[in-house]
Amino acid sequence: MTSELRKAGLRASSSVRGNKEKHKLLLQTLRIIAAHSAARLKSDADAVTARVAKIAARSEDPRQRINAVASPLPAEKV
């Protein structure tokens, strides 16, 4: 992920070419990306916490979460 981001950043930086307006736009875009990442971090962490709590609420004993029922062995042919 960071490699792709770094490459995209280098491409974007190379297109600035001394233009102060493009540089300003690039920095604003990076701030927006950082804000989205921070917001996503919080919402994703909350989602994981809720999912873990839901799993824990189903059963305290993990063995009770197994729905498989043992089948009897087939009768031996004589």
**What is residue 58's predicted lDDT score, i.e. its pLDDT?**
74
Please write the tens of the pLDDT for every residue from 8-35.
999 999 999 999 999 999 999 999 999 9
pLDDT-derived band at 75 (thresholds 50, 70, 90) equals confident
Q: Give the helix ranges, DSSP H, for 15-69.
A: 20-58
pLDDT at 56: 78
Residue 8 CA to residue 27 CA, distance in Å, equals: 14
**Hey, how many other C-beta atoms are within 10 angstroms of the C-beta on 12?**
14
CA angle 44, 26, 10 (to 5 degrees): 90
Distance CA 27, CA 23 (A): 6
pLDDT in tens, 29-74: 999 999 999 999 989 999 999 998 888 777 666 666 566 566 667 7
